[in-house]
């Protein structure tokens, strides 16, 4: 048990969807059922408009790969500039997510969402009219600033306006919008890839449309009642709560938020919020769990799959650029589809089981992916033909004996002929730096391929094991998307008490973006050092570590009111997971002078007995 302040903070009151015994202020079971029966339409509208932030997150991170194919030709971009244009957005998102915690605390969720959509709009317009690469870089930086704020604010806002029995589902809808945004971005990429001149302007600029929609929508939508109460705007808070609970008696919810804010204010120690979070054990544990989940989400390699799916598919044998782009949209669609499964499952099986099943499945499918690459590497065709052209002799490509090592060098590609299904007369040649679809010289150089009937493989080797890679990829998405995709966002939106919520979400979103940039920027280098199968075995190992972390540390939060969740972190870290396996809590309610205790039953449901025993 914590100190007295810890006990007071970890007070449990009755969740609205659990029938209660002898409760003083609670809604009757009929009230509760009627909330669940009535469709809380307004909450869905609020969720839809805030999740547009998730959509923009997905769109802006997803669209850039297709835009880059056109931009690099039109603006003659070096690989440094390409990397800069991709990573400046993610880097800016990491910084602005961290700053978003402060902004959320001061200005509230609504203003932050308005600010993010305004920034997205401005960024989209700048990108669509950019006359040169410097302005493009500036536009991508602006978009990143919006991304960071939106990524941490939308889940918090949705969690704060949702009723407990729908909260998991509604916050998961935000991730559904992220993956939806990635899918739409890939379709837009596919469509505008036919417009060789200026197609990228439409790709990058179109994001201004949903951003404007969100901006105007939020001018009319309310602030989070929890934030309003925290700022002392009690009347407004009650009005908003009435409005979003569709007229059901909100007295108990209002009281429970008010009393937990009162306790927080009384207990508030000295120092900044972050310092208080780090020095107060239950919140520190929640922060470790929140940041750990976000870290393992990224370390299990989702964005190597999302950003490089076209490349991965090419490596598995799909040769044509345009086919690869459309197959990449099939990948994004699979991610979207299985996130939908997560929305359906989250309130049925709970966050913990969903995350556990998903991360274990992710680890296994990464092994399948790695095995596919390993078999392809072992069956990699040898170099059998050394062309006499003296201009090719000085290149490092000349030193490779197999396609596998040739393909891993970004400066080289594999040029080969076919006899039936057998690879013949194969060479490793330097790539044409202006256009990686052909070799710099020789049989596979631009314009000569047709007459010589030679095939050019850049980034992949001709192999008969590509189906295993394809199967691993689909399996990966099907198992990652329902759990490890959305749960880190969903869990983070609910595990912190109100005073620490925006800072906690800012930190964990920052960790997500930082790990995102680390993994996606290092993928090609890791693949070069460890080969592709080594890289995927590495991600699989990291996912297994994540599994151990989730087993030990993630408690079940399903069905609990936000004010009750902190108590799940009352025990030592790595025993928190036991909370969902039947732990008994005894929580004296000191300020009321009455003793209440609750039993946390399997499935995270809490049964209540309120005992009117005076402590004094």
Ligand X SMILES: O[C@H]1[C@H](O)[C@@H](O)[C@H](O)[C@@H](O)[C@H]1O
What x/- string results for residues 354 through 373 when contact with ligand X is judged by CB under 6 A? --------------------
Which of 476, 608 has the CB closer to ligand X? 476
What element of type H or E holds 417?
A: strand 412-419
In the complex, the smallest distance separating the C-beta of residue 218 from ligand X, rounded to whole angstroms, is 22
Residue that the structure tokens 């030193």 belong to: 399
Size of the site for ligand X (CB under 6 A): 14
- Count how many Cα atoms sit within 13 Å of the Cα of residue 450 in the half-sphere of its side chain: 1
Which of 147, 240 has the CB closer to ligand X? 147
Q: What is the DSSP track for 592-611? A: GTEEEEEEE-GGG-EEEEEE
Which of 57, 227 has the CB closer to ligand X? 57
Should residue 180 be labelled a site residue for ligand X when binding is judged by CB under 6 A? no
* Rounded-to-10 torsion of CA 93, 98, 100, 102: -160
Q: Which stretch binds ligand X (CB under 6 A): 178-186, 526-534, 536-544, 570-578?
A: 178-186
Are 302 and 526 spatial neighbours (Cβ–Cβ below 8 Å)? no
Cα separation of 358 and 479, whole Å?
Answer: 5
In the complex, the smallest distance separating the C-beta of residue 344 from ligand X, rounded to whole angstroms, is 16
Q: Of these, 65, 153, 303, 314, which contacts ligand X (CB under 6 A)?
A: 303
Are 606 and 599 spatial neighbours (Cβ–Cβ below 8 Å)? yes
Which of 273, 306 has the CB closer to ligand X? 306
Cα separation of 310 and 457, whole Å?
Answer: 14
Cα separation of 317 and 291, whole Å?
Answer: 37
**Within positions 512 to 551, which residues make up the interface with ligand X, using CB under 6 A?**
512, 516
Give the full edge-to-edge strand order of the sheet including 455-457. 422-430, 412-419, 455-457
In the complex, the smallest distance separating the C-beta of residue 543 from ligand X, rounded to whole angstroms, is 14
Should residue 178 be labelled a site residue for ligand X when binding is judged by CB under 6 A? yes
Q: Which stretch binds ligand X (CB under 6 A): 82-90, 171-179, 190-198, 500-508?
A: 171-179
Q: Which stretch binds ligand X (CB under 6 A): 87-95, 113-121, 296-304, 459-467?
A: 296-304
In the complex, the smallest distance separating the C-beta of residue 61 from ligand X, rounded to whole angstroms, is 6
In the complex, the smallest distance separating the C-beta of residue 484 from ligand X, rounded to whole angstroms, is 7
In the complex, the smallest distance separating the C-beta of residue 509 from ligand X, rounded to whole angstroms, is 9
Are 417 and 442 spatial neighbours (Cβ–Cβ below 8 Å)? no
Cα separation of 215 and 511, whole Å?
Answer: 27
Should residue 185 be labelled a site residue for ligand X when binding is judged by CB under 6 A? no
CA 112 to chain centre: 19
Tokens of 326: 């459309």
Which of 59, 215 has the CB closer to ligand X? 59
Q: Which stretch binds ligand X (CB under 6 A): 224-232, 297-305, 360-368, 595-603?
A: 297-305
Give the full edge-to-edge strand order of the sheet including 594-600. 583-589, 594-600, 606-611
Which of 466, 508 has the CB closer to ligand X? 508
Cα separation of 234 and 35, whole Å?
Answer: 23
What x/- string results for residues 448 through 487 when contact with ligand X is judged by CB under 6 A? -------------------------------------xx-
Q: Which stretch binds ligand X (CB under 6 A): 129-137, 232-240, 302-310, 453-461?
A: 302-310
In the complex, the smallest distance separating the C-beta of residue 178 from ligand X, rounded to whole angstroms, is 5
Q: Where are the alpha helices (DSSP H) in 316-420?
A: 321-349, 351-378, 403-408
Are 110 and 218 spatial neighbours (Cβ–Cβ below 8 Å)? yes
In the complex, the smallest distance separating the C-beta of residue 54 from ligand X, rounded to whole angstroms, is 9
In the complex, the smallest distance separating the C-beta of residue 175 from ligand X, rounded to whole angstroms, is 5
Are 93 and 179 spatial neighbours (Cβ–Cβ below 8 Å)? no
What x/- string results for residues 125 through 164 when contact with ligand X is judged by CB under 6 A? ----------------------------------------
Are 148 and 96 spatial neighbours (Cβ–Cβ below 8 Å)? yes
What element of type H or E holds 261?
A: helix 251-267
Which of 327, 428 has the CB closer to ligand X? 327
Should residue 179 be labelled a site residue for ligand X when binding is judged by CB under 6 A? yes
Tell me the residue number closest to ligand X, measured at CB: 485
Should residue 175 be labelled a site residue for ligand X when binding is judged by CB under 6 A? yes
Q: Which stretch binds ligand X (CB under 6 A): 24-32, 295-303, 426-434, 542-550?
A: 295-303
Which of 179, 405 has the CB closer to ligand X? 179
Three-state SS for 418?
strand
Q: Of these, 104, 128, 335, 463, which contacts ligand X (CB under 6 A)?
A: 335
Are 127 and 34 spatial neighbours (Cβ–Cβ below 8 Å)? no
Which of 489, 547 has the CB closer to ligand X? 489
Question: 3-state SS string over 149-181?
Answer: HHHHHHHHHHHHHCCHHHHHHHHHHHHHHHHHH
Tokens of 372: 């596919």
Which of 94, 423 has the CB closer to ligand X? 94
Should residue 302 be labelled a site residue for ligand X when binding is judged by CB under 6 A? yes
Which of 16, 303 has the CB closer to ligand X? 303
CA 219 to chain centre: 27
Q: What is the DSSP track for 424-492? A: EEEEEEEB-TT-TTSBSSSTTBTTTHHHHT-EEESS----S-HHHHHHHHHHHHHHHTTTTTTHHHHHH
Listed residue (476, 246, 464, 485) closest to 376, CA to CA: 464
Should residue 306 be labelled a site residue for ligand X when binding is judged by CB under 6 A? yes
Which of 62, 163 has the CB closer to ligand X? 62
Should residue 493 be labelled a site residue for ligand X when binding is judged by CB under 6 A? no
Which of 215, 333 has the CB closer to ligand X? 333
> What are the residues binding ligand X (CB under 6 A)?
175, 178-179, 182, 297, 302-303, 306, 335, 485-486, 489, 512, 516
């Amino acid at each position: 048990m914590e100190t007295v302040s810890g006990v007071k903070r970890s007070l449990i009151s009755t969740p609205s969807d659990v029938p209660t015994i002898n409760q003083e202020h609670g809604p009757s079971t009929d009230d509760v059922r009627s909330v669940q029966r009535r469709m809380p339409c307004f909450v869905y509208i609020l969720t839809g408009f805030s999740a547009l932030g998730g959509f923009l997150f997905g769109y802006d991170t997803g669209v850039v790969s297709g835009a880059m194919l056109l931009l690099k030709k039109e603006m003659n971009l070096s690989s440094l500039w390409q990397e800069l244009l991709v990573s400046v957005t993610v880097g800016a998102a990491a910084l602005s997510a961290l700053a978003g915690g402060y902004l959320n605390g001061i200005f509230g969720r609504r203003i932050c969402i308005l600010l993010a959509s305004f920034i997205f709009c401005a960024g989209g317009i700048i990108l669509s009219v950019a006359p040169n690469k410097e302005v493009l870089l500036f536009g991508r930086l602006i978009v990143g600033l919006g991304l960071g704020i939106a990524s941490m604010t939308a889940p918090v806002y949705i969690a704060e306006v949702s009723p407990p029995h729908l909260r998991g589902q509604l916050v998961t809808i935000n991730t559904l919008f992220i993956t939806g945004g990635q899918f739409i971005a890939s379709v837009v990429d596919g469509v505008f890839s036919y417009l060789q001149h200026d197609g990228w302007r439409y790709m990058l600029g179109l994001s201004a449309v949903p951003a404007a929609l969100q901006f105007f929508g939020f001018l009319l939508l309310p602030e989070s009642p929890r934030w309003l109460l925290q700022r002392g705007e009690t009347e407004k808070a009650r009005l908003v709560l009435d409005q979003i609970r569709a007229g059901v008696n909100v007295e108990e919810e209002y009281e429970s938020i008010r009393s937990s804010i009162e306790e927080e204010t009384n207990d508030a120690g000295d120092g900044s919020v972050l310092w208080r979070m780090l020095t107060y054990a239950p919140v520190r544990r929640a922060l470790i769990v929140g940041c750990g989940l976000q870290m393992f989400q990224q370390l299990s390699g989702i964005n190597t799959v999302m950003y490089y799916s076209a490349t991965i598919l090419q490596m598995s044998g799909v040769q044509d650029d345009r086919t690869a782009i459309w197959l990449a949209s099939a990948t994004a669609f699979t991610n979207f589809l299985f996130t939908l499964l997560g929305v359906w499952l989250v309130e049925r099986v709970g966050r913990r089981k969903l995350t556990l099943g998903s991360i274990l499945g992710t680890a296994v499918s990464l092994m399948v992916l790695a095995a596919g690459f390993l078999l392809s590497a072992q069956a990699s065709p040898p170099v059998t033909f050394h062309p006499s052209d003296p201009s090719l002799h000085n290149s490092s490509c000349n030193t490779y004996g197999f396609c596998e090592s040739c393909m891993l060098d970004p400066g080289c590609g594999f040029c080969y002929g076919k006899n039936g299904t057998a690879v013949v007369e194969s060479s490793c040649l330097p790539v044409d730096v202006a256009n990686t679809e052909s070799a710099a010289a020789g049989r596979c150089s631009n314009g000569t391929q047709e007459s010589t009937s030679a095939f050019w493989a850049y980034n992949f080797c001709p192999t008969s094991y590509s189906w295993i890679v394809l199967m691993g990829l689909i399996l990966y998405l099907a198992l990652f998307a329902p759990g490890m995709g959305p749960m880190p966002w969903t869990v983070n939106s609910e595990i912190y008490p109100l005073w620490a919520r925006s800072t906690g979400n800012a930190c964990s979103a920052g960790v997500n973006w930082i790990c995102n940039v680390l993994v996606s920027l290092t993928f090609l280098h890791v693949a070069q050092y460890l080969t592709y199968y080594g890289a995927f075995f590495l991600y699989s190992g990291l996912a297994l570590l994540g599994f151990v972390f989730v087993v030990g540390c993630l408690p079940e939060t399903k069905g609990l009111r936000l004010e009750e969740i902190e108590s799940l972190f009352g025990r030592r870290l790595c025993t928190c997971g036991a909370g969902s396996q039947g732990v008994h809590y005894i929580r004296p309610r000191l300020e009321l002078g009455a003793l209440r205790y609750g039993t946390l039953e399997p499935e995270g449901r809490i049964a209540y007995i309120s005992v009117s025993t005076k402590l004094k």
